[in-house]
Amino acid sequence: MAFERRVAAPRLPSYDDHETYAAVMRAVQVVLLVLHLLGVVALLVGLLLQARRPVKRVTGPMRDGSGTAFAAGLLLVGVLEIRDVAFDHTGVSVMFGVGLLVLVLVLSGARQEHIPGWLWWLVLVLTVGNIGVAYAV
């Protein structure tokens, strides 16, 4: 019988002390929060820059901002759950639903040359409403 050499499987990094792990997760949380806020600001600025224009359209900052805000917000909730931070799940669920609706509306208008005025207003009202819900939570 031949001697078989066993190769150890790669291991995940181990955090021996809880403080190091907590510090890493806190840093990830802060980075995701900044990305989320930048996405919301980009969406809102992209909307408000068109306020006086007669023809509205979906711009790059609106498209990228809504996607960034949604993805970063979703990941942020995951990090908060991992860290066992208490937060209002109902408020987060409402923000998730509104954010998903805004993302779908923005992406549906992204391929069009211009969007109807009611769609621009709907995205603006939903975005400001989502900010209000976030402030209330």
Residue ranges per domain, the chain? 20-48+55-136
Helix/strand/coil for 58: coil
Residues 6+ apart with CB under 8 A from 25: 79, 82, 83
Query: Per residue in 111-135, pLDDT tens?
Result: 999 999 999 999 999 999 999 999 9
Q: What is the pLDDT of residue 118?
A: 95
Whole-structure pTM value: 0.83
Range 5-13 average pLDDT: 66
The answer to whether 99 and 60 have CB atoms below 8 angstroms apart is no
Indicate the class that CATH gives domain 20-48+55-136: mainly alpha
Note whether 39 and 17 are within 8 A (CB). no
Q: Which residue has the tokens 């498209």?
A: 63
Give the pair of three-digit tokens for residue 107: 């992406």
